[in-house]
A and B are shown apart, each in its own frame.
Chain A
Amino acid sequence: MFITTKARRAHRTRALAGIVAFVAFASACSSSSSSSSSSSAAATSPTSAAAGATTVASASTAAAATSPTATTGSTVGSTTAAAATTAAGGTGAPAGEAFKVDTSKCTDPASVTAKVTGSWKVGYSAPLSGPVAGVVTYALDGFKARIAAANAADEVKGVKIDVTYKDDQFTPDKAKANATEFLQSDHVNSLLTFGSGPVGAIADDQNADCVPLLYPSSSVQKYRDISQYPWTVQYLPAGDAEARYDIGLITSKFPSGAKVGIAENQTASGKGESAAFQAAAKGTNLTIAVVAPSTDPNAAATQLKAANVDVVYDAGISSDCGPVVQAMDRIGFTPKVVINPSNCADSTAYVASGKAADGNVIPSFLKNPASAALANDAGVKMYLSQVTTDDKNNAITVAGWVTADLLVNTLKQAAASSGGLSRLSAIQAARNQKYASPMFIDGINWESTATTLTGIDAFQTTVWNAADQSFHLDGSLISVAAK
């Protein structure tokens, strides 16, 4: 009996050990494979930073071909052109109301206003390993290239930007541990991270220590509350901003009203998008005729067809982009307009959908460096001169570069302030931005004031063309700035 028992335990232990070893191996493999994947991961939460960029084959508007040095011509709708923007990413901040923040309750108030010389230390907690590490590598390639260029050109006047990277595997508790080490041991001047979970784990501590969290790739509404999180400035467009774009686009195409159906992914992301869309539709002449769960795309398509809607909004993640459209095609239902969320920027799903995806719309805000129409664009030239890695044309790499560009611009603006570069002047600069990054589609600005974080102030409509299997810019910019 004793031997039998031991043998059974040993067998079970070996089985568990096998499971663990397999998971470890699979994890390692998934990290490796994801690094070589296409930009399909743009839909994953940490990488939706790239959501605004699409593989635009050709620009159908004049705006797309204009240089970022232009201060006119790219203004469309209610969006104003960047003020005094230069191709080198010069500051374009208007003289707005200075952002005031109480530093007396900071852990070390004196350090907040202390002038930073020599180097500006950035603590970057990122998923360097784990399931999303591959795509994050793309973003870091762009980020590192922009930082290196800024240091080489001494853009922050005598201050080098020194970035330390720590792996959080996209888990909030590891991100918190990293942030604690950055704050307590490394005494960094600002922080950066990926994803809403890590931002949530970091936000309270960095606000208590009054260390700016500048341009993390997240868009959680609660951390946009300046009164509660004055030291946190997120990069990604807010969900309600994108919803305003969606509603603006539909009302422009259907001025006298339309019936809208929502294919709703039953995940937190999908339901969040759906809720934001429905909220934005209130007070308009649009009718939400049906909200169809897209768990079964065929059932969703049937519901949408039965409601005979004019417009289908696909509130989903990248995996939904193709299946819902294909399901509608199978039952012979072709709505007048299909709008996908910005995280459906990966062309693979559209190619797989064939003709069914023709005319699908998504919002974007980043330039495509591979676009022939932008070959002479000053911003693209600048970008390509700095980013030389193989993934330079990847939308996520562009997003990473833009994140660094916003950081550099903020530090330049802070360094030029009367008190010089400090943590306080950095957050004040971050709260006083109107900046057109060279890789934003012309006419799109990054806006931030003492009271409002708008972020991306407009989207450019892009339409999928099934014939040449590429996205095309369509129409003018649509402002998403809060009214």
Chain B
Amino acid sequence: MSERTRPYVVHRGTTTHRVMIGAGLILAAAFVLWARGFGQFNQGQITRVMIYAIAIAGLNIATGYTGLVSVGHSAFFGLGAYTTGVLVVSHGWKPEATIPVALFVCFVVGLVVGLPALRIRGLYLAIVTLAFGVAFPEVVARLSTITGGAEGLTIRRAMLQPPTWSGFAIGQKGKWLFWLSLFVLVVVMIVVHNLVRSRYGLALMAARDNELAAAASGINLATVKTVAFGVSGALTGVGGSLFAMYLGSLVANDSFTLLNAIALLTGLVIGGEGTRFGPILGGIAVVYIPYYTSDIGQGQAAAVLFGAVLILIMFIAPEGVAGGIGRLGRNVMVLVPATPKRPGGERSSARGLGGNSERPRRQGQSIGGEMATPTD
């Protein structure tokens, strides 16, 4: 009886792991260098992907990592956009200077919106967030003196002048926004990565997976959930802030409706909830799937095709594209946490010494005292 091929095991922090990270960074850098030469349209599409990725990364904190299903994140997206719009149009702020303000405003509002999460969860919480999302355009309409009401808020082209130090002229504002979005996306990715791997991140996932066990372990569920919603809203608001700079025209009834919330949720589910790279894949899906399906079958056929593609993706990879790739990838290679060192400096398992990778005895079997946990 032939033995089944076993995947390679790579420990975090080993040379192999670092080489893999380095290769990934080189690939990403190569793509960015390639994309910077794109024409205005294609670069604009990449910018949209990054903006949606940032927004979805925010949603991922609440829904993916904490298990708080939100179908009203379009409101945070819109709030961030209007924060930027109002500050730029009415107060003459530089667009990029409004990003921290949008983050703060959305964080505070996120804390408030997250309060119901202390008492309810699941579909009930989804309904509460739905109300928030539905109410947002109406609130914007009522605050017409600030937001422009029904006619919306227009950020004129001249107001979106790239900063002098960037070297970009007004005609190159698309390129400036591309680099700005890239920078913000990288920062958001790092923040999310560190957040998820921190004690607080573990608390988020514990609260998601088993509230009772988490509470019994000393986790303050109220704080964890509320702050998760705040952070989630803040990151999505940053995406909204960039969206305002991209679009230049804010009409709440058109851009920040329930359909927008569904788009964010769709991106998260397609990309892969609770994964680091899911939001980026989700951003790609939100921007490019409708674009190509509409090219293939114009008109209502495109809508049917789009729906079919979504269903197909969900059928093939119900855990999302990132999760699907991770599942397939684990057939080849398994990434496991670094083996803790003993006081003497030696690793706890001889198997970890001198080698960066190995073949496990059996998939899922305890290695070096730790379970091979699926991570992305």
User: Chain A interface (Cβ within 8 Å of chain B)?
Assistant: 1-2, 4-5, 8-10, 12-14, 16-17, 19-21, 23-25, 27-28, 31-32, 35, 45, 107, 128-131, 133-134, 137, 165-167, 169-174, 176-177, 180-181, 183-185, 195-198, 200-201, 203-205, 208, 220-222, 266-269, 271-272
Residues of B within 8 A of A208 (CB): 157, 171
Which residue from chain A places its CB closest to the CB of B252 in the assembled complex? A268
Q: Provide the bound-state CA to CA distance between A204 and B149, in Å.
A: 19
Choice from B141, B209, B268 contacting A8 with Cβ under 8 Å: B209
Q: Provide the bound-state CA to CA distance between A411 and B48, in Å.
A: 35
Of A17, A172, A198, most B-chain CB atoms within 10 Å: A17
**Are A23 and B262 closer than 8 Å at their CB atoms?**
yes
User: Chain B interface (Cβ within 8 Å of chain A)?
Assistant: 39-41, 44-45, 48, 63, 67, 69, 137-138, 141, 149-152, 154, 156-157, 171, 174, 208-210, 213, 243, 246-249, 251, 253-255, 259-260, 262, 265-266, 268-270, 273-274, 290-291, 294, 298-300, 302-304, 306-307, 310-311, 314, 318-320, 323, 371
Given contacts A2-B371, A184-B41, contact A222 B154 (CB under 8 A): yes
How many whole Å from A167's CB to the nearest CB in chain B?
Answer: 4
Given contacts A19-B265, A177-B45, A180-B41, contact A5 B210 (CB under 8 A): yes
Main secondary structure of the interface of B (DSSP, over half): helix
Given contacts A25-B307, A177-B48, contact A201 B299 (CB under 8 A): no
Given contacts A128-B302, A180-B41, contact A267 B141 (CB under 8 A): yes
Q: Provide the bound-state CA to CA distance between A131 and B302, in Å.
A: 12
Given contacts A27-B303, A196-B151, A222-B151, contact A171 B294 (CB under 8 A): no
29 sample A-B contacts, Cβ–Cβ < 8 Å, listed by A number: A1-B210, A1-B213, A5-B210, A8-B210, A13-B273, A13-B323, A16-B69, A16-B265, A21-B314, A24-B306, A24-B310, A25-B307, A25-B311, A45-B253, A128-B299, A129-B290, A129-B294, A169-B294, A170-B254, A176-B44, A180-B41, A185-B39, A185-B41, A197-B251, A203-B249, A222-B154, A267-B253, A268-B137, A272-B150
Residues of B within 8 A of A128 (CB): 294, 298-300, 302
Of B69, B210, B249, most A-chain CB atoms within 10 Å: B249
**Are B209 and A174 closer than 8 Å at their CB atoms?**
no
Given contacts A173-B48, A197-B152, contact A17 B249 (CB under 8 A): no
Given contacts A17-B269, A172-B255, contact A134 B300 (CB under 8 A): yes
Of B149, B174, B294, most A-chain CB atoms within 10 Å: B294
Choice from B151, B247, B269 contacting A16 with Cβ under 8 Å: B269
Residues of A within 8 A of B171 (CB): 107, 208
Q: Provide the bound-state CA to CA distance between A171 and B300, in Å.
A: 16
Residues of A within 8 A of B260 (CB): 171
Residues of B within 8 A of A268 (CB): 137, 141, 149-150, 253
Q: Provide the bound-state CA to CA distance between A184 and B38, in Å.
A: 11
Q: Provide the bound-state CA to CA distance between A450 and B337, in Å.
A: 71
Residues of B within 8 A of A205 (CB): 157
Given contacts A172-B255, A173-B247, A197-B251, contact A20 B44 (CB under 8 A): no
Q: Provide the bound-state CA to CA distance between A107 and B40, in Å.
A: 13
Q: Provide the bound-state CA to CA distance between A25 and B213, in Å.
A: 38
**Are B141 and A271 closer than 8 Å at their CB atoms?**
yes
Q: Provide the bound-state CA to CA distance between A198 and B254, in Å.
A: 9
How many whole Å from A249's CB to the nearest CB in chain B?
Answer: 24
Residues of B within 8 A of A137 (CB): 299-300
Residues of B within 8 A of A267 (CB): 138, 141, 253
Residues of B within 8 A of A27 (CB): 303, 306-307
Which residue from chain B places its CB closest to the CB of A133 in the assembled complex? B300
Residues of A within 8 A of B262 (CB): 20, 23
**Are B320 and A174 closer than 8 Å at their CB atoms?**
no
**Are A167 and B294 closer than 8 Å at their CB atoms?**
yes
Given contacts A128-B299, A201-B247, A204-B249, contact A32 B154 (CB under 8 A): no
Choice from A24, A198, A200, A269 contacting B311 with Cβ under 8 Å: A24
Residues of A within 8 A of B270 (CB): 20
Q: List the 9 closest pairs (A to B, CB-CB), nearest first.
A: A197-B254, A268-B150, A200-B249, A24-B307, A167-B294, A129-B303, A268-B141, A5-B209, A28-B307
A181-B41, A204-B248 known; 13 new pairs, CB 8 Å cut-off, are A20-B266, A27-B303, A129-B299, A171-B255, A172-B254, A172-B255, A180-B40, A180-B174, A196-B152, A198-B254, A201-B247, A204-B249, A272-B150
Q: Provide the bound-state CA to CA distance between A141 and B8, in Å.
A: 60
Q: Provide the bound-state CA to CA distance between A31 and B152, in Å.
A: 26
Q: Provide the bound-state CA to CA distance between A169 and B40, in Å.
A: 21
**Are A20 and B269 closer than 8 Å at their CB atoms?**
yes
**Are B371 and A20 closer than 8 Å at their CB atoms?**
no
**Are B266 and A23 closer than 8 Å at their CB atoms?**
yes
**Are B253 and A184 closer than 8 Å at their CB atoms?**
no
How many whole Å from B146's CB to the nearest CB in chain A?
Answer: 14
**Are B290 and A197 closer than 8 Å at their CB atoms?**
no
Which residue from chain B places its CB closest to the CB of A136 in the assembled complex? B299
Of A131, A169, A195, A269, most B-chain CB atoms within 10 Å: A169
How many whole Å from A182's CB to the nearest CB in chain B?
Answer: 9
Q: Provide the bound-state CA to CA distance between A14 and B314, in Å.
A: 9
Given contacts A12-B67, A16-B269, A172-B249, contact A180 B299 (CB under 8 A): no
Residues of B within 8 A of A133 (CB): 299-300, 303
**Are B265 and A20 closer than 8 Å at their CB atoms?**
yes
**Are A204 and B210 closer than 8 Å at their CB atoms?**
no
Residues of A within 8 A of B48 (CB): 173, 177
Residues of B within 8 A of A8 (CB): 209-210
How many whole Å from B319's CB to the nearest CB in chain A?
Answer: 6
**Are B249 and A28 closer than 8 Å at their CB atoms?**
no
Choice from B138, B246, B298 contacting A167 with Cβ under 8 Å: B298
**Are A9 and B302 closer than 8 Å at their CB atoms?**
no
Residues of A within 8 A of B248 (CB): 200-201, 204
Residues of A within 8 A of B298 (CB): 128, 165, 167
Choice from B149, B154, B156, B310 contacting A21 with Cβ under 8 Å: B310
Which residue from chain A places its CB closest to the CB of B311 in the assembled complex? A21
Residues of B within 8 A of A171 (CB): 254-255, 259-260
Residues of A within 8 A of B243 (CB): 173
Choice from B150, B208, B254, B259 contacting A271 with Cβ under 8 Å: B150
Q: Provide the bound-state CA to CA distance between A386 and B268, in Å.
A: 47
How many whole Å from B269's CB to the nearest CB in chain A?
Answer: 5
Residues of A within 8 A of B213 (CB): 1
How many whole Å from A18's CB to the nearest CB in chain B?
Answer: 8
How many whole Å from A223's CB to the nearest CB in chain B?
Answer: 9
Which residue from chain A places its CB closest to the CB of B272 in the assembled complex? A13
Choice from A16, A169, A272 contacting B273 with Cβ under 8 Å: A16
